[in-house]
């Protein structure tokens, strides 16, 4: 290990893909809402195409090409484009489109998330740190029963990860040093951003994040302090570290 | 009832005095830290005098007399003055003063808080909304085992309650209307501020908040939508309301 895990006080967790299975959740809700309108849509492929627009849409905010916009707004814009591309725009009115955007607020946790987070919480302040809006995350975390100590969002910085402001605003709100925060994420771009902001990092492998047909990011795609295969393994690893700094 | 409690989506709870017993917690820690330095201090009286400086210190921030300052900073300034006034400044070095300021991060919950909040949480998004800083609240809520869905702080608005910005920033982050939030507080000034910002209000009586010798605020000191004697009674009252809007 290249760092002393005993110096960690806060475990900050990415949400989409890392803690919850966005693809299964969105695919199911898309398919259901489409079926209710007599439209046949491949939920998985639609979810993939929607997610493909995620990073580019946030980059335009971070680069200052446009003002701050909520993730819900970005999701809505991508959705409108996609429905047009699929030639089904006419079948989805305002209400259906709102429900589709809301599908990102209600996603299933990966099997190991609830237990692993609960174990981490015994020794650390455990925070959600996501590009999702504060309300989205509050709803999602509540619905999935994820035991976080607090919710932090890129919205509080009005800049999206991997912009350093997103990480450093969270660090400042928790009144710790960047090096006392361990960022846990399943995406190389998130690990890279956190590392550049001075945080410690744990790459958490989610091989099925993008479904069975597409490859997910792997530990070797980035440089992280730790690499684990789930929150249970992370809790095991950190539990073996002596002299952890208590939260206060 | 002057409002429809079925329209409430979020229950926002004040912390100091309403959810936790600041006086007992601070008095005990002050007495202990003082005793460790061979100084005899009446912890309760000291806690009272400290708290008396609370609202005036925040008012100077809200009025623009000074820039934003964290509650910890305000607490520290009041503490320095008080130790001087008590003629014991020499006995408390930097480390002891930091520990004293931190006593506000670790306070006991009132008996009904944990259970009452857990019951409210079954139907509502339940949020902490306090003038304490985000880190302070995260530590305090974790230590006291308070089951909030999320933590909101005046720090996020850089304005203290009863300034409307403190309430409306919280409302905005939760993506609801002011009238969908029920502010629960044991202080008339907090209820007044919330009401003026357009929130619904529940006055929660804590007769012993200021200790046995001083009177606490009473329901008749303000105008609130509901008045209850604890979180249990609030949960009972709201559980009797049909047609509550689900969080999402």
Summarised one tens digit per residue, pLDDT across range A190-210 is: 999 999 999 999 999 999 999
Count other Cβ atoms within 10 Å, centred on residue A91. Answer: 15
Interface test with A, best of B75, B125, B138 (most A CBs within 10 A): B138
Instruction: Give pLDDT, residue B244.
Output: 53
CA dist list (Å): B91 to B41, B75, B83, B87: 12, 18, 9, 9
Chain A residues 155-194 with a CB less than 8 Å from chain B: 155-156, 173-176
Range B77-86 burial, b when 16+ CB lie within 10 A, else e: ebbeebbeeb
Question: At B247, is the pLDDT very low, low, confident or very high (cuts 50, 70, 90)?
Answer: very low
- Percent of chain A surpassing pLDDT 70: 96
Residues of A in contact with B149 (CB under 8 A): 138, 141-142
Q: How far is A17 from chain B (nearest CA, A)?
A: 21
Cβ of A138 and B176 within 8 Å? no
Q: Give the residue from chain A lying closest to B106, CA to CA.
A: A248
Residues of A in contact with B156 (CB under 8 A): 156
Burial of B90 (0-12, 13-18, 19+ CB in 10 A): exposed
Interface confidence (ipTM) of the complex: 0.94
pLDDT digits (tens, 9 = 90+) for B148-160: 999 999 999 999 9
> In the predicted model, what is the mean pLDDT of residues B7-29?
97
The pLDDT mean for chain B works out to: 94
CA A180 – CA A194 distance, rounded (Å): 12
User: What phi and psi values does residue A133 have, to the nearest 5 degrees?
Assistant: -70, 165
Count other Cβ atoms within 10 Å, centred on residue B64. Answer: 8
CA A177 – CA B167 distance, rounded (Å): 29
Instruction: Give pLDDT, residue A23.
Output: 97
Burial of A118 (0-12, 13-18, 19+ CB in 10 A): middle
Question: At A247, is the pLDDT very low, low, confident or very high (cuts 50, 70, 90)?
Answer: very low
CA dist list (Å): A123 to A7, A227, B122: 12, 19, 26
Question: At A2, is the pLDDT very low, low, confident or very high (cuts 50, 70, 90)?
Answer: low
Nearest to A120 by CA among A235, A236, A4: A235
Domains of chain B: 5-21+107-239 (3.40.50.1000), 22-105 (1.10.150.240)
> In the predicted model, what is the mean pLDDT of residues B185-192?
98
Do A107 and A130 contact (CB within 8 A), yes or no? no
pLDDT digits (tens, 9 = 90+) for A179-188: 999 999 999 9
pLDDT digits (tens, 9 = 90+) for A87-138: 999 999 999 999 999 999 999 999 999 999 999 999 999 999 999 999 999 9
- Percent of chain B surpassing pLDDT 90: 92
Task: Report whether the peptide linkage leading into residue B186 is cis, meaning its omega lies within 30 degrees of zero.
Answer: no
């Amino acid at each position: 290990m290249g760092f002393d895990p005993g110096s960690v006080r806060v475990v900050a967790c990415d949400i989409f893909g890392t803690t919850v299975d966005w693809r299964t959740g969105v695919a199911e809700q898309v398919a259901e809402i489409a079926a209710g309108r007599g439209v046949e849509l491949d939920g998985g492929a639609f979810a993939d195409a929607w997610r493909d627009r995620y990073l580019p849409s946030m980059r335009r905010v971070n680069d200052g090409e446009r003002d701050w916009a909520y993730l819900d707004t970005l999701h809505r814009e991508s959705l409108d484009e996609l429905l047009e591309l699929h030639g089904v725009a006419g079948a989805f009115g305002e209400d259906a489109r709102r429900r589709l955007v809301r599908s990102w607020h209600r996603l299933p946790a990966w099997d190991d998330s609830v237990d692993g987070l609960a174990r981490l919480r015994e020794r650390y302040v455990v925070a959600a740190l996501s590009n999702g809006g504060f309300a989205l995350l509050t709803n999602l975390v509540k619905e999935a029963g994820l035991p976080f100590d607090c919710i932090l969002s890129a919205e509080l910085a009005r800049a999206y990860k991997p912009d350093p402001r997103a990480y450093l605003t969270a660090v400042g709100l928790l009144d710790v040093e960047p090096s006392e925060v361990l960022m846990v994420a399943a995406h190389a771009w998130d690990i890279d951003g956190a590392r550049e902001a001075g945080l410690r990092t744990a790459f958490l492998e989610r091989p099925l994040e993008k479904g069975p047909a597409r490859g997910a990011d792997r530990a070797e795609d980035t440089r992280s302090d730790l690499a684990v295969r789930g929150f249970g393994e992370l809790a095991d690893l950190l539990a073996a570290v002596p002299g952890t700094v208590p939260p206060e």
